[in-house]
Amino acid sequence: MSTRSWLASLPGLLLVASCGARSPVAPESHPFQSLPSGLSLTASASGTDGALTATCRLLWTLDLKREISRTPDLVVYGGNFGGESFRSVVGSDQSGVAFDLDVFGEIEVSLTTATGAIAIRIPVNERSEQRFSREQAHFNGPLNADGTRTGTWNCAPLDISEGHPDTTLTVPGTWQVRALTQ
């Protein structure tokens, strides 16, 4: 076989060899390969212990700036979050305390490629002395049919013992993450 005819058959050999290659991840088994760079997290919680009523709200924007790691099963993003964390505690006499905090920090969001579920991690909240912030360190939720992710959380006290104390009442709530519209 001449060099010229061997080179001419090379593309055909490569095509045959590539047809037998298997992809390490079948796309149909891992359909969720990325998240939008902008997400919105909204959360609410409220409840009473008979003497006090607590109401909480989170309105955050998540800005995913970089991909930290990628495996066939998991994509991890890094970025920042910012927005509002609100808590009020009111007694039966309608006196109480309310805090509306502006929050900002680093965030890590993991996407499970097979299911679309996400896990949000806020490192600074993991180390907080206040239960209010520690309860906002992790949000894990599945992908819903409407494209949102949802879950439950607890709004814990700010651990303030002076004035109108906020040390005892933790209330359950729900959260939702959706893509920001551009």
Digits of tens for pLDDT over the chain (182 positions)?
A: 444 443 344 344 333 333 333 334 445 778 899 999 999 999 999 999 999 999 999 999 999 999 999 999 999 999 999 999 999 999 999 999 999 999 999 999 999 999 999 999 999 999 999 999 999 999 999 999 999 999 999 999 999 998 888 999 999 999 999 999 75
Q: Which helix (H) or strand (E) holds 3?
A: helix 3-19
Handedness of CA 159, 165, 170, 176 (dihedral sign): negative
Q: Which helix (H) or strand (E) holds 109?
A: strand 96-112
Query: Residues 144-155, buried b or exposed e (16+ Cβ, 10 A)?
Result: eeeeebbbebbb
Domains of the chain: which residue ranges? Answer: 33-179
Q: Which helix (H) or strand (E) holds 6?
A: helix 3-19
Separation of alpha carbons 141 and 101, rounded Å: 24
Burial class (CB in 10 A: 0-12, 13-18, 19+), 111: buried
Tokens of 83: 């927005």
3-state helix, strand and coil shares in percent for the chain, rounded to the nearest 5: 15, 50, 35
Would you give the distance in Å from CA 181 to the centre of its chain? 17
pTM here is 0.82
Class of the CATH-defined domain 33-179: mainly beta
